[in-house]
Amino acid sequence: MAFEKTTGGASGRIGKAPSACDTPSSEPCAVLIVGASGDLTKRKLIPALFYLFRNRLLSDGFFVLGLARSPMSEEAFRASLEEAVKDNKGFDARLWAEFARRLYYLQAGYDAASLKKAGEVMDEKARAHATGPNRILYLSTPPSAYEGVIEAMAASRLAAEERGWARIVIEKPYGRDLESAKALENTVSRHFREEQVFRIDHYLGKDTVQNIMMFRFANSIFEPVWNRHFIDHVQITAAESLGIEKRAGYYEEAGVLRDMFQNHMLQVLSFVGMEPPSVYESEAVRDEKVKVFRAMRPLDRGSVMDNLVLGQYAEGEVNGASSRGYREEEGVSKGSIVPTFAAMRLFIDNWRWQGVPFYLRSGKRLRSRFTQVTIQFKAVPHQMFSRLFEEEIGPNAVIIRIQPDERIQLRFHAKKPGSRVCLRDVVMDFGYTEGYDGLVLEAYERVLLDCMTGDKMLFIRSDAMEMSWKWLAPALDYSEGRGKAAPELSLYRAGSFGPVEAERFMASDGRKWVDYER
């Protein structure tokens, strides 16, 4: 395989036709979006499908049927989606007109009779668009409706695979705790085989998350030092500058641990901590991720209190604009103890990672929006330059940035030019799309296409989902305590990097957080 230069400008959103290295085009299929009048369809699903369509990654045999209770004509449905898609780069009116002819709307409920009607409409449109019997059933409803919709799908025979395949896509949150997740899984497993179920986490569709495996297992210079002998600790941060926006109802029920840790954070952790699979295939990779969850040191109430900092944002200033506190947000209880920030320390008890702390941190209304993994290496065993430099010589680090700019940085030390012996910190910086002029898929584009091709590598398996809930349960119990059992909740100003208690938490281990740097 030839090496390519990685200098030059970043690629645009419209690339060349796909090469052998790009994800293959989808199979012919119909997509039913249940709850299609909601925000997810407008902001994510239809823009992603249109991008795949205009880059020739969708089969000619393809259409979308949106089902929702909202009264709306088909023309109004298409027009509302066009307005949403126009906000994206590279909008092409001619291609949109062609794509829009594949969009249909059915005003109906989520009961069996309504879904039977949806099935009849899909059969009719399948003949017109030559999709065959293949269908994707996408749940874009509130999570509280999942079980009822799944039962109705089964009763209406939408999930039947008599002539082709049927796949169900379930958005997070997959339950709100271990018990509810198990109840939902029982409903799902009664009507769908595991091969049909795609539990979506769009974070896993981000190229830099997938690139963690390539970075580790395709490069002989990194994998030999990816262990407890060389790594001091690992940090995973997912910081958001936004607040809860208009999702107070959801967030008051979820909080940061359900919203970010049970899914996104632990999934990224599994890529960092996994062992190399024997082959690069979906089930082999997912087997190794499950082993990471199985090896995580269990929490109990005592260890939770020692390894968890919870916070909630107060009024402050974000990006030069004043910001109100969480308890002043519309729809939030004035005495709410729902955490909007959490910092957690955990350990993976196996030969590779024994004794290496993993620090996870996520919060809302922080200074900037960024997600990154920091692999911090141990200091050199003997510092021969200690008499030459007054300043402390810091550790080396690899930083894998997932957003807003996808890149990998290697930080190390070198001599300053000149006659004097002076040290400087330098960075090797690789921008993920630099020097690449091919097609770039964003998160929802990738996971939707994988669903259509049947590739489950980036989707969560039932055992992994259950283990993540089980491991997190003591932290959830602690965060939701009342009275004397209520958690210690640290307030932090909006626009900061979080509560000072999180800094002290790291300082007690002799470490500090690595924040976003351009």
Between CA 503 and CA 207 the distance in angstroms is 30
Catalytic residue at 129?
no
423-431 and 407-415 beta bridge pairing: antiparallel
By C-alpha distance, which of 264, 266, 242 is closest to 369?
242
Give the number of other CB atoms < 10 A from CB of residue 183: 12
Kindly report the three-state secondary structure assignment for every residue of 102-137: CEEEEECCCCHHHHHHHHHHHHHHHHHHCCCCCEEE
Residue 475 has pLDDT above 90, yes or no: yes
Please give the single-letter amino acid code of residue 372. Answer: Q
> What is the model's pLDDT at position 393?
67
pTM for the whole structure: 0.89
Q: Mean pLDDT throughout 337-347?
A: 95
Q: Which of 187-196, 422-431, 452-461 has the lowest mean pLDDT?
A: 422-431
Angle of CA points 109, 331, 492, to nearest 5°: 130
Confidence at residue 413, expressed as pLDDT on a 0 to 100 scale: 73
Distance CA 184, CA 107 (A): 26
What's residue 11's pLDDT?
37
Whole-angstrom Cα distance, residue 310 to residue 490? 6
What's the pLDDT at 172?
A: 83
Match 């069996």 to its residue by tokens.
Answer: 112
The pLDDT of 389-418, averaged and rounded, is 80
DSSP 2-30: ------SPBP-SS-PSP-TTSPPPPPSEE
Measured from the Cβ of residue 360, the count of other Cβ atoms closer than 10 Å reads: 22
Report the half-sphere exposure of 120 (CA within 13 A, side-chain side): 7
- Dmax of the chain from CA atoms? 83
Instruction: Kindly compute the dihedral angle of the four CA atoms of residues 457, 460, 464, 465, in this order, to the nearest 10 degrees.
Output: 180
The reported pLDDT for the residue numbered 302 is 82
Lowest mean pLDDT among 47-61, 99-113, 300-314, 387-401: 387-401
CB 367 within 8 A of CB 243: no
* Tens digits of residue pLDDT in 115-166: 999 999 999 999 999 998 999 999 999 888 999 999 999 999 888 877 789 9
The pLDDT of residue 3 is above 50: no
- For residue 167, the surrounding DSSP H or E stretch is strand 166-170
Say which range, 50-59, 179-188, 413-422, has the weakest mean pLDDT: 413-422
pLDDT reading at 110 higher than 70: yes
What's the pLDDT score for residue 438? 75
Contact 369, 239 (CB under 8 A): yes
In angstroms, the CA 50 to CA 38 distance is 17
User: pLDDT of 375-397, one tens digit each?
Assistant: 999 987 766 666 565 566 678 99
| Residue 45 structure tokens | 């699903």
Question: What gap in Å lies between CA 498 and CA 364, rounded to an integer?
Answer: 9
Q: What local confidence, expressed as pLDDT, does residue 385 receive? A: 61
- Give the residues across from 308 on adjacent strands: 344
In whole angstroms, give the CA distance from residue 332 to residue 336. 7
pLDDT value at position 384?
Answer: 60
Length of the chain: 518
Q: What is the pLDDT of residue 488?
A: 85
Residue 262 phi/psi, 5-degree rounding, is -60, -25
What is the β-pairing status of strands 370-377 and 321-323?
unpaired
The DSSP line for 385-414 is TTTT-SS--PPPEEEEEEESS-EEEEEEEE
129, 202, 233, 264: which is the annotated catalytic residue? 264
Q: Which two tokens stand for residue 324?
A: 């109100």
> How many other β-carbons are positioned within 10 Å of the β-carbon of residue 405?
15
CATH class of the domain whose range is 29-171? alpha beta
**Residue range 5-46, pLDDT digits in tens:** 444 333 334 444 444 455 556 789 999 999 999 889 999 999
**204-507: CATH homologous superfamily?**
Dihydrodipicolinate Reductase; domain 2 (3.30.360.10)
**Which comes out higher in pLDDT, residue 326 or 416?**
326
pLDDT (0 to 100) of residue 386: 60
Report the distance separating Cα 105 and Cα 72, nearest Å: 8
Range scoring the smallest mean pLDDT among 97-111, 212-226, 292-306, 474-488:
474-488
219 phi and psi, to 5 degrees? -125, 115
d(CA 441, CA 425): 34
Tokens describing residue 389: 């430099």
Domain boundaries in the chain?
29-171, 204-507
Mean pLDDT of the chain: 87
**Residues 57-94 pLDDT 10s:** 999 999 999 999 999 999 999 999 998 888 776 788 89
Question: With contact defined as beta carbons under 8 Å apart, do 159 and 32 qualify?
Answer: no
Identify the band that residue 424 occupies on the pLDDT scale cut at 50, 70 and 90: low
pLDDT at 309: 95
